[in-house]
Amino acid sequence: MAKRTFKRRGGPSRQKPRTQTPRTAMLNLHRLGSFKYDLREILNASPMDKSTIPTVVANIIAKASRVSILETKDYIREMEQQEVLDKIAADDTCTLLDRYSKWR
């Protein structure tokens, strides 16, 4: 039986160069459920208004998954300056973001 050879489609001139985009730390979406749980535990333990917790959680998840972890930390520090979050909850949330981050 004859060995079958396969033709390659295109050669070195056909391949497009891949441009490298800078990688940024973002939220690991595969662990989103446990991140949400831990974040709600931190915010429920803090002395913040309980009606604002869902809004803060949604904003943190949106920024961390779409923009970057650094932008999210800046947002958390702004919330701390506006006295929506206290210092302990802000520090714990930033540590939590570091734990659940992934380079994308």
pTM of the complete model? 0.79
Model confidence at 12: pLDDT above 80: no
pLDDT tens-place string over residues 39-88: 999 999 999 999 999 999 999 999 999 999 999 999 999 999 999 999 99
Q: Which residue has the tokens 């489609």?
A: 9
> DSSP character for 9?
S
Angular region, 67: left φ>0, alpha ψ -120 to 50, beta rest:
alpha
> DSSP character for 6?
-
Task: Locate 48 and state its tokens.
Answer: 């913040």
Q: Which residues contact 17 (CB under 8 A, 6 or more apart)?
A: none
Q: Which residue has the tokens 């459920």?
A: 33
The alpha carbon dihedral of 47, 50, 54, 59 has a sign of negative
